[in-house]
Structure 1
């Protein structure tokens, strides 16, 4: 459990460190942790709670979860069922597929920061532990940034780099890099959404053909009062089961990333 907490805090603080580097310096965090434990450091306690509260957001933004969830939601909508599978199942399956994709990255992060996570101290947030955590953050950034950069399109990277340059003051622009999280994360998310919509378009096509065919047949039979979607739903389910849709979609989503 302690190892899991270390890894979670490593990812969260590593992301937050680059977003607010102008206002909070890591050396100041380390100095706040000197002396007594966390109970006597309310500011440090608050920072730890904020980092933990940001963990789900960070997990969604720097992993493949966004793409998985969007594609699976589009698939459900294309079939024509609003509540089957329910949102909890969609979210759970998205998390499981994300674990498959992010497992190599997580292993790289753990291997690089493992020697800093084995430190033991009586107080979790004392100075020595905080120093170890900050070192773990620094050495574990490389695999995360490599994953984000390889999956983000060059067009989006350049766009957010130019935007970041424009909104910054002239004296702050030289410190900006293409490897900063403030560039990588939004470019990665936009690229993932674009890919998810492209996949969703391909999924929608066969079901749309079925809807159009059923609608034309009903019109030819003079049965305009019947809802085409209600009649076409069994045929769409049959098609999806015959082609083993969940297998194909899950396989395509996971193998779409370089493992």
Structure 2
């Protein structure tokens, strides 16, 4: 009877040990499976990051190539200086249409969601690309004639209400025909921010943004002068500067701060 009881207890003990071992093995298997399932997610994240970096690199390379091609396809002998880069919407590519002659070159910079070569026939369809800016470079018969194209003003001599714009720069406000201009000078440049008379603070704010931006970004050095007109309502941004007998004009730019970014890219 004792032998039988002992044998039964031994059998139960062995079965319990086997069950415990099986549970441990099962737990280990589950842990390995969970770890295995998590690994692909990590790989997917790494792949996504790599793809993003790859897209940015391709876009950057394509922009550099596009700018080189644009200059080659201007169709003019004029010594035109091009910007080194343009502020593109993320994920887009730079392209353009160009026209040129002996006395003038024109570039319409565009961005597209897919790569489109410069002057490609697809660019005739407005839905394929969005305009960024238009650059016109015109040759005049004399330096004096070129200089007449620049509406340069010394705003400190024009009077108007003085407004501090930061960095020891003062602006001068002048109103007329429903518009309020805040003008100031930096070097050989005359700059002005326009708003409506019923929204005067917006013009000062834009002028302050421009002054701060130009503390770390440099406009091209004009010979002799240049002018900047920035518009709060994105309807009349214009940047013009003289380089001897050549006059550079940037327009068709909606965002006033992008207009400054493009202009300063000529000096990088």
TM-score of the two chains, using structure 1 as the length reference: 0.21
Higher Rg? 2
Higher relative contact order (CA 8 A, sep 6+): 1
Greater helix content: 1
TM-score of the two chains, using structure 2 as the length reference: 0.21
Greater strand content: 2
